[in-house]
Copies of this chain bind each other. A is one copy, B any other.
């Protein structure tokens, strides 16, 4: 039995590109992936569950975990901390589960430092106009904040060259199929573990 580590897929891109919808659709279709759960220092809201919505930590705990380098990435947003704990991710990977991390671009760049084997997928809106539409439809944007979000989106798109794959999200089913294909293909990559396994040839080798 050829048992390989899972792969870590960092799915990122400007807000409004549709990362969340694609991932939600994908987990309906395949069972060999786990969507990473973030840690946060903010209080649980109604209906939120530990280890499903978030790993809830006090600010003090969170800061201690930062000191212990327990995070693959973290950020402070206003008065609260958010981050990705290293251990649950590495544990899932060790079990051969593929892990998906939905994360903003700053977080993705941190992951790139911490875990170079990760695979980076950039989700693009079909056009700036469409991005604008999607942000407007979410509501609660003033013209100023809308302009700022669009400007930020453009700046962020420049980071695409740091990524391995891109998906132009103009159709949810197509985009989901592409992310699915990327995961399947990456799991079929010839990597060190496969080569090492085949080099045990004189003892007989085990595949499949």
Give A residues with C-beta under 8 Å from B: 2, 122, 124, 126-129, 132, 135-136, 150-151, 154, 157-158, 160-161, 163-168, 170, 177-178, 180-182, 184-186, 188-190, 194-195, 198-199, 201-202, 204-208
Contacts and interface: CB of A to CB of B under 8 A. Distances in A.
A201 B170 contact: no
Given A154-B198, A185-B165, A194-B166, A127 B205 contact: yes
Contact of A184 (B128, B157, B185): B185
Counting from the closest, the 3 A-B pairs by CB-CB distance are A185-B185, A181-B184, A181-B181
Contacts of A195: 160-161
Copies of this protein in the assembly total 2
Contacts of A165: 185, 188-190
A194 B132 contact: no
How would you classify the secondary structure of chain A's contact residues: helix, strand, loop or mixed? helix
Contact of A164 (B124, B127, B178, B190): B190
A9 to B, nearest CB: 11
Contacts of A180: 181
A201 B154 contact: yes
Given A182-B185, A185-B186, A189-B165, A201 B150 contact: yes
B184 A178 contact: yes
B160 A190 contact: yes
Task: Give the residue among A124, A157, A161, A185 with the most B Cβ atoms within 10 A.
Answer: A185
Contacts of A208: 126-127, 129, 168, 170
Contact of A163 (B190, B202, B205, B206): B190
B207 A128 contact: yes
Contacts of A122: 190
A160 to B, nearest CB: 6
Contacts of A170: 208
